[in-house]
Every structure is written in structure tokens, then in C-alpha cells.
Amino acid sequence: YRQIWKLEEEGSDGGLAVGTCHLDPICFPTWVGESNGTVRLIFSGSLCSGQLTATTAVDETPYVMTANHCIATQSIANSCQFNFFYRTPTCNAAVSAGTTITGSDLTSTYLASDCTLLMVRPTLPTTAYWVGWTNVNPAVNTASTGIHHPGGAPQAISFGVKNAGSFPCGTPGTNWNSLSWNNGITE
């Protein structure tokens, strides 16, 4: 996560100091749905990324998946702001402020896998998108895409491949994958 109170000191683009190799997700129309499901989280003076996550019941429960190192308590979940569509509205245009809603319930959190599941309380924007998932371990060299808010900046997209069978991070180590980005980066 990134401390937002120091952003003004670090950069000149609205106070956000981020790398220069980021790609605009709106320039890749295949990924507009997933872009509509990626959200910037603002909480306790910090920023993280999250995704509106689909359920197996396909019932549009407003679950947002993020990291445990970002949000791990109900008090932080209560005050968390969810900033949808903080990105460019058209390819390489000026950034839109997006739509912000506040408040969620901590549904589940687990330090060992660095995972937190929140349920957003307010009504979601009408064009929000539920991002799919699978518990199948992808094969090495499987194409991979990530949409995120690097350092709290507007959305960026990265493309790469899975480069290892497992990654020794967390417990158990076999539940993690390592990626090599070949277009765009993550921060």
C-alpha cells in the first residue's frame, strides 16, 4: 500500500509519483469489463487496488477482493472508500475522478495468503463488472493480465505470462504463481 498523505511531496501528476511504463487499460477494449471491476481503495491514509469478484452463484454479491496487508480489520473496512473508474474515459485522455462509495463489511481475511474479502454496503455503480476467477492452477507460460492502481494512480494494465510452477511466498508456497510482465509493469 502507499501512504496518501505523502503523495503531494512525491510527484507532480496530481501528487502521484509512479513509474512511466504504465499502459492505459481503456486502450485495450478486450479488457474494458475487467477495468470496470477494478477499484482503487482509500483507507486510513493509504491506497490499494481491489477487484469486484464474482461468486459461483452468479448473484452479484458486492464482494471486493484485496490484500490482507491493506485491510484486515472491520474498523478499516467500515471507512474504506471504493473509487470505481479512476482512469481515462477514452484511450490516453485526461483522467476521470471516477465514482466513489464508502463502507464495507469485512467478510474474510487471511494473513498467510495475504487475502481479504470485503462486502461493499452502498449500491454499486450501474456499470460495475464482476471479475471472474478460477481455482485451477494455470500452466507455465499461460498468458496473464493484471489491472491495478499503481501507487494509487489511475488504472494501469500489464500483460505477461506465468513463469514458474509455484512461488515460495505465503503458506502453502504452492498456492502462489510468479509472473513475468512483457508489456506494462506492476508497482
Contacts for 62 with CB less than 8 Å, ≥ 6 apart: 52, 119, 120, 124
User: Helix and strand tally (H, E) in the chain?
Assistant: 3, 11
Q: What is the greatest pairwise CA distance in the chain? A: 45
The string of pLDDT tens digits covering residues 121-130 is: 999 999 999 9
- 43 pLDDT more than 80: yes
| Cβ neighbours of 65 (radius 10 Å) | 18
DSSP string, 150-183: GGGPSPEEEEEEE-SS----SSSGGG---EEEEE
Per the CB < 8 A criterion, the answer to whether 5 and 45 are in contact is yes
Q: Cell digits for 147? A: 489491472
Cα 138 to Cα 9, 38, 141, 163, 178: the distances in Å are 41, 21, 8, 10, 11
The string of pLDDT tens digits covering residues 63-119 is: 999 999 999 999 999 999 999 999 999 999 999 999 999 999 999 999 988 899 999
Exposure string for 113-128, b = 16+ CB within 10 A, e = fewer: ebebbbebeeebbeeb
Secondary structure of residue 34 in the 3-state scheme: helix
* One-letter identity of residue 155: Q
What pTM was computed for the model?
Answer: 0.85
Per the CB < 8 A criterion, the answer to whether 170 and 68 are in contact is no
